[in-house]
Chain A
Amino acid sequence: MTPTLRLPYIRPTLSRLNQGPVNPFRLGTSPSCPDIDGISVPELTREHGSPLFVFSETALRDAYRAAHRAFSRRYPDVQFAWSYKTNYLNAICRVFHQEGAIAEVVSGFEYEKARHNGIEGHNIIFNGPHKEKADVERAIAEGAMLQVDNIDELLHLGEITKGRTEPLPIALRVHLSTGVQTVWSKFGFSGDDGELQQVVRRILAMPQLRLVGLHCHIGTFILEPEWYRIAAKKMVALALNAEAMGAGPIRYLNMGGGFASHARLHFQYLPPEQATPSMDRYAEAICDTITAEWPQGRTLPKLYLETGRALVDDAGYLISTVVAVKRRTLHDPVATALAAFGKNGPATVAGAPSQNALVLDAGINLMYTTTWYQPRILPVRPCLDAPTPTTVFGCLCMNIDVLREDAPLPGLTTGDQVVMHPVGAYNQTQSMQFITYRPAVVMTGPGGQVHLIRRRENLEYVQEMEVVPSHLQNPE
């Protein structure tokens, strides 16, 4: 009896997992990514070139809706604010704004961008340790929500609002110890050692200011939802304490961002599908805690969330093409160390272990987040041979341009394409033009549309800001 449908064949293999940080779950299958959002990858690059950033509009909207649902199911008054720095391509910001997110910005530039994207001042949360004087003045005039980061900023605000009849509503940024991780004490005032109370006391002496909210952002890529429970509990206690000191009603708590996407940290053992908590777990930790801790019978404070990476990271892909194939000799660290002392001959000996290596047409200047995360790298063409640890180099003329030390990949060859994922958070905003032009960015729509949302750079764009002094101009 022959089954009508036979499975694709892969060589039967048994590999011993003895490669230190190599995670067993990464080996053993050779998945591929022939299309993004139902659109074939070669078709995308035929039109827009390689490398190419691709964002799925459906994935963006789905992520937003899932997050919003998780919180609004549990809490009566929730507002998401799109954290611009995570990805401020206008098309992406506008998708989130259309879904109902207001804006969270940390500079005058981001503020201008949000205004340009149609967000009114009173729907902008203005964060950050450095706000320019002119930007603060504009924000005040337009009714933006100022989250004060430090004493200098507070005193400056006190000065420029002197004589105001209507007090200026402000919030204070707080940092908190929530457990295991390092406290982001660069930002805001300590909520653990009485510093915040001192600042509240100062505000009480400034009738032109009124404290109406508290803000905290405990960190980023937080894999432990319980830390939000601790943070929420402390935030409520601090709010009630400020009220008891005479600050007046605290109308909102801003819990910042930090929810994890399905990226994978270096040396993260479990795969993201298992390590990344669901939105429900974050929502439960935050909403249930505030609801339980807030005085019974009083209207709950408005809850702001500035979720960045968890909304955008998984929607972003980077397509790249293999431009060269190499073997890379793996140096035995002991032999290398001995060789440094002239012992035991050269570190690299014939027959030394080696592994496959690829050079892609995209470099780490586009993939800043590879410093902390290891993107999944999938071949576009389905490959049946077993994946082996493969070094994936970028295209820059720099030795540090390594996108992955040991991506499990089948034997790819020049001209093959790969898709890196997730890459939607922070890579756009932190990428730099270096050696090559930055690639185009497209957004795929639900009906198979492909919208260009950022053109590939060209010489004119890159040189636009340069000025050549007259004595260096080419003679006519």
Chain B
Amino acid sequence: MLNDRGFAFDPTSGETFQLSTTGLRIVRLLQQDTGHEKILEHVIEEFEVEPNTASRDLADFLLSVKQVGWISE
């Protein structure tokens, strides 16, 4: 369960999470099965960010999303 303010409740673990606005955008794109390359393009297009920073942060972020078990690959 994820609301539009980035508050997430994981019913399998019972844990709650908070996503930053950028994080929320990325999770929404993941929910639509958007590929990682495409997500990076979206982030750079929609936010004021350098491609290098965006790419580094995206990699970090995807790692944390994987750690909580929301994505597998």
List chain A positions with a Cβ less than 8 A from chain B: 1-3, 6-18, 24-25, 27-29, 386
Q: Which of B26-49 contact A (CB under 8 A)?
A: 26, 43, 45-49
List chain B positions with a Cβ less than 8 A from chain A: 5-7, 15-23, 25-26, 43, 45-49, 53-54, 57-58, 60-61, 64-65, 68
CA distance A6 to B57 in the complex (A): 17
Q: Which 9 A-B pairs have the closest CB atoms?
A: A12-B23, A9-B49, A12-B22, A12-B61, A28-B18, A9-B47, A17-B16, A13-B20, A27-B18
Question: Which chain B residue shows the least CB distance to A15?
Answer: B18
Question: Which chain A residue shows the least CB distance to B62?
Answer: A12
* Interface residues of B, dominant DSSP: helix
CA distance A8 to B47 in the complex (A): 6
Q: Is the CB of B48 within 8 A of A9?
A: yes
Q: Is the CB of B18 within 8 A of A12?
A: no
Q: Is the CB of B65 within 8 A of A14?
A: yes
- Report if A7-B19 is in contact (Cβ < 8 Å); known contacts: A12-B57, A14-B68, A25-B7: no
Shortest CB distance A294–B (Å)? 45
Q: Is the CB of B45 within 8 A of A14?
A: no
Question: Which chain A residue shows the least CB distance to B70?
Answer: A14
Shortest CB distance B63–A (Å)? 10
Shortest CB distance B57–A (Å)? 5
Q: Is the CB of B46 within 8 A of A6?
A: yes
Q: Is the CB of B47 within 8 A of A17?
A: no
Q: Which listed residue (A7, A12, A27) contacts B26, Cβ 8 A?
A: A12
Q: Is the CB of A28 within 8 A of B47?
A: no
Q: Is the CB of A14 within 8 A of B61?
A: yes
Chain A positions within 8 Å of B48 at CB level:
6-9
Q: Is the CB of B15 within 8 A of A7?
A: no
Chain B positions within 8 Å of A3 at CB level:
45-46
Q: Which one of A9, A16, A27, A29 has the highest number of Cβ atoms from chain B below 10 Å of its Cβ?
A: A9
Chain A positions within 8 Å of B61 at CB level:
12-14
